[in-house]
Amino acid sequence: MLTPASQPTEPESKAKAAASAAFVDVRDLAFRYGDRKALDGISFSLDRRRILGLLGPNGSGKTTLFRILCTLLQPQAGQVRLAGLDPERDPAGVRRRMGVVFQTNSLDQELTVAENLVCQGRLHGLKGLRLKGRIDELLERFDLGGRRNSRVRSLSGGMRRRTELAKGLLHHPQILLLDEPTAGLDPHIRQEFWEHLTDLRDSAGITILFTTHLMDEAEVCDRLVILDQGRVVTEGSPAKLKERIGGDVIVMHSPDPNALKARIQGRYQGAVSVVNGAVRMEQHRGHELIRDLMEEFSGEIQAISLGKPTLEDVFIRETGREFQV
């Protein structure tokens, strides 16, 4: 049957709808353990081929959200769509499209790298040359070719994480979920691991979501969702979030921070707050203000520092509290 040119065929219209919708869409997600609210109306979305970080202090709901996204827990309210699919209706479909890397070790320490990957591949129905080819490809991608026959227990922490990554990617997922991916690794190993993840986004088109409580890890994502007490406190690219603070952050220590805050507020415009016993100000051209503050309040200031806004400053501004892990 011919279809008029202006009317898309069904597969075309589905494809268009899918293209216009976000690749990951989370709406009004809620979850409580008994009386305790763990997630209290979480919403965010993400386009394909992007990296999203879920940053939050302890107890902010990261693990609960992670478990819902990877289909281990069902939300009590709200909706999740991953690659256009509803994990509640089609958990198997979502799992086929998703790779998961847990924070805890999931490798058999007594098996070799290749043996671990073969076992995982078989669980996904891969075998023979197809499985071997995929394992070769991933070992090469993650610089593990020389260690394919090493027992996992002999590997460094960074190599184990890369083996976990290879394991999560064996079945060609479109989405990769990682829980605290580089917690416990040295900074340079962490950076190396992140280079692999950004390469997966850029060269393999994978959409990546990860949870973290580490500010430097959160810096690398395209989109950051900051959580606190089960809610989204703010979201955007790390650079934009820091830009919103506008200028510099001045932190002053004083024997009586509340009195100093009141005196500064009486003299200067702009937000002044006391966070964990220190007086904070956000100010353009902060170095000029520091000079004035030291002249006017020298007797009340024990120490003063000036810095460019960090993600921690973003968290403090949104919650009025320091970020505590």
In the complex, the residues that contact ligand ADP under the rule CB under 6 A are: 33, 36, 38, 56, 58-64
Nearest to 108, CA basis, from 138, 157, 151: 151
Work out how close the CB of 291 gets to ligand ADP at its nearest, in angstroms, rounded to a whole number.
41
Name the residue nearer to ligand ADP (CB basis): 193 or 323: 323
Name the residue nearer to ligand ADP (CB basis): 65 or 206: 65
CA-CA distance, 118 to 254, in Å (whole number)?
61
Work out how close the CB of 64 gets to ligand ADP at its nearest, in angstroms, rounded to a whole number.
3
Nearest to 306, CA basis, from 323, 281, 324, 269: 281
CA-CA distance, 253 to 265, in Å (whole number)?
16
Name the residue nearer to ligand ADP (CB basis): 23 or 315: 315
How far lies 272's CA from each of 257, 281, 316, in Å?
11, 5, 12
Within 83-149, strands assigned E span 98-101
Work out how close the CB of 318 gets to ligand ADP at its nearest, in angstroms, rounded to a whole number.
16
State which H helix or E strand residue 29 sits in. strand 24-33
Work out how close the CB of 217 gets to ligand ADP at its nearest, in angstroms, rounded to a whole number.
14
Nearest to 291, CA basis, from 304, 310, 279: 304
Matching residue, tokens 């829980």: 179
Work out how close the CB of 36 gets to ligand ADP at its nearest, in angstroms, rounded to a whole number.
5
Work out how close the CB of 245 gets to ligand ADP at its nearest, in angstroms, rounded to a whole number.
24
Q: Kindly tell me the burial class for residue 246, based on how many C-beta atoms sit within 10 Å of its own C-beta (0-12, 13-18, 19 or more).
A: exposed
Name the residue nearer to ligand ADP (CB basis): 234 or 265: 234
Name the residue nearer to ligand ADP (CB basis): 180 or 282: 180
CA-CA distance, 291 to 157, in Å (whole number)?
47
Name the residue nearer to ligand ADP (CB basis): 40 or 90: 40
Name the residue nearer to ligand ADP (CB basis): 33 or 302: 33
CA-CA distance, 24 to 20, in Å (whole number)?
12
Measured at the CA of 117, the angle between CA 114 and CA 122, to 5 degrees, comes to: 125
Which SS3 state, helix, strand or coil, does residue 170 take? coil
Work out how close the CB of 59 gets to ligand ADP at its nearest, in angstroms, rounded to a whole number.
4
Name the residue nearer to ligand ADP (CB basis): 60 or 112: 60
CA-CA distance, 5 to 229, in Å (whole number)?
52
Which SS3 state, helix, strand or coil, does residue 282 take? strand
Work out how close the CB of 33 gets to ligand ADP at its nearest, in angstroms, rounded to a whole number.
3
